[in-house]
A and B are shown apart, each in its own frame.
Chain A
Amino acid sequence: MKRFALALTLAASLGAAHAVEYTQVQADKSAINFTYKQMGVALDGKFKKFASQLSFDPAKATAAKASFEVDLASIDTGATEGDQEVAGKPWFNTKAFPTAKFVSTGVKALGGNKYEVTGQLTIKGKTQDVVVPASFAAQGNSGVFDGSFTIRRADFSIGEGSWAKFDIVANDVQIKFRITANAGK
């Protein structure tokens, strides 16, 4: 039994050579940030709270699954006034739609450490198909996933009414993420 455990540990430490499945998301080493433009000024912010489920085995990438649920009220726009504003009805309407959800529908290996994740993103009751390029790097016992993709806020009715035009706040919002997950037991 002891020998078996040792063999497992060895296999895990060899990384991609053997099957390792990364499933334990490390919230403190993971982040979801966003950048957008306001009258030509690049601004960024982040979501402080999100729950995620992940299973990724580099040897069986196409079978990988990921889902995220982002607490929209945990947004940090860099200004208290901004945080309060985007929680309101014209923006996220967090009272009615407290979270944004992403559920993967497929993963394609692009070669090297690059992958393409397709999935459905639901914000404010609206669902869109998104394609998310991501890279993977094994770091000791953990796997680090980095990626970014761009959404159009109008597709999700984020910023309605007086904010609906894009002359002040641009339509494109880039979502950047870094997810660190440990190998499962």
Chain B
Amino acid sequence: MTTPANYTSTAKAIHWLMALLLIGLLALGFYMHDLPLSPEKLKLYSWHKWAGVTAFLLLAVRLLWRLTHRPPALPDSMPKIMQLAAHAGHLALYLLMIAIPLSGWLMSSAKGFQTVYFGVLPIPDLLDKNKELGDLLALVHQSLNLLFIAVLAGHIGAALKHHFIDKDDILKRMLPTHSNK
């Protein structure tokens, strides 16, 4: 695999699709959690789960892309330590994108509320109903998301720093309009 100068349109499309979906999922998750029980709340929980499954499926496509393509290299102007930090940050994002939906799925199982994709396709329960475990997994799901917000803030902050301070093309090369020179 040679290192390309650009991301493919597939990579860009999945990146931005997931960006929208994950930020929406985060906002919805924190919003719905504090609602009093109502039909609205139950509906939002179902939507959140369906969107979560969708994000997980998109991630599978994304990992497939990542395993068959090399992303463009980081600029040589970046110090080695910053390059390492960038790779570590991306690895953390990937790990969290795997762990968060998994923890949500396990939590749903333990709480006895199976995830049924779009109300049609039942996703098998991995755990038996168990209240204590359900509460613990809820805490895990929430903590992982707080961590995700922190790493995401770093990701967005770093992209903006590259664009406005370092004035390199790190941010621009992920934009849909950016193409090979």
* A binding-site residues for B, Cβ under 8 Å: 38-44, 78-79, 81-82, 84-85, 162-163, 165, 167-169
| A43–B125 alpha-carbon span in the complex (Å) | 12
Assess the A42–B46 pair: CB atoms within 8 A.
no
Assess the B114–A41 pair: CB atoms within 8 A.
yes
Assess the A168–B43 pair: CB atoms within 8 A.
yes
Assess the A85–B116 pair: CB atoms within 8 A.
no
| A72–B115 alpha-carbon span in the complex (Å) | 27
Assess the B39–A168 pair: CB atoms within 8 A.
yes
What residue in chain A is nearest B108 (Cβ atoms)? A41
When distances are taken between beta carbons in the complex, the residues of chain B under 8 Å from A44 are 112
How many whole Å from A31's CB to the nearest CB in chain B? 15
Known: A78-B111, A79-B111, A168-B42. A41 touches B37 (CB 8 A): no
| A43–B42 alpha-carbon span in the complex (Å) | 13
| A51–B42 alpha-carbon span in the complex (Å) | 33
When distances are taken between beta carbons in the complex, the residues of chain A under 8 Å from B46 are 38-39, 41
| A103–B46 alpha-carbon span in the complex (Å) | 38
Given contacts A39-B43, A41-B114, A82-B37, 15 further A-B contacts (CB under 8 A): A38-B42, A38-B113, A40-B119, A40-B120, A41-B113, A42-B114, A43-B112, A78-B111, A79-B111, A81-B37, A85-B37, A162-B38, A163-B39, A168-B43, A169-B39
Closest 10 CB pairs of A and B: A40-B119, A78-B112, A168-B39, A39-B46, A40-B116, A41-B116, A85-B37, A39-B119, A168-B42, A81-B37
B12 at the interface (CB under 8 A from A): no
When distances are taken between beta carbons in the complex, the residues of chain B under 8 Å from A42 are 114
| A168–B119 alpha-carbon span in the complex (Å) | 10
How many whole Å from B132's CB to the nearest CB in chain A? 13
When distances are taken between beta carbons in the complex, the residues of chain B under 8 Å from A43 are 112-114
| A44–B113 alpha-carbon span in the complex (Å) | 9
Known: A81-B37, A82-B37, A85-B37. A39 touches B42 (CB 8 A): yes
Assess the A165–B39 pair: CB atoms within 8 A.
yes
B173 at the interface (CB under 8 A from A): no
| A39–B40 alpha-carbon span in the complex (Å) | 12
When distances are taken between beta carbons in the complex, the residues of chain A under 8 Å from B37 are 81-82, 84-85
When distances are taken between beta carbons in the complex, the residues of chain B under 8 Å from A163 are 39
When distances are taken between beta carbons in the complex, the residues of chain B under 8 Å from A81 are 37
Assess the A39–B111 pair: CB atoms within 8 A.
no
| A163–B119 alpha-carbon span in the complex (Å) | 18
Q: Can you pick out 15 interface pairs between chain A and chain B where the beta carbons lie within 8 Å of each other?
A: A38-B113, A39-B42, A39-B119, A41-B113, A43-B114, A44-B112, A78-B112, A78-B131, A79-B111, A79-B112, A81-B37, A82-B37, A162-B40, A163-B39, A169-B42
| A83–B118 alpha-carbon span in the complex (Å) | 26
How many whole Å from A97's CB to the nearest CB in chain B? 20
| A90–B90 alpha-carbon span in the complex (Å) | 49
B129 at the interface (CB under 8 A from A): yes
When distances are taken between beta carbons in the complex, the residues of chain B under 8 Å from A40 are 116, 118-120
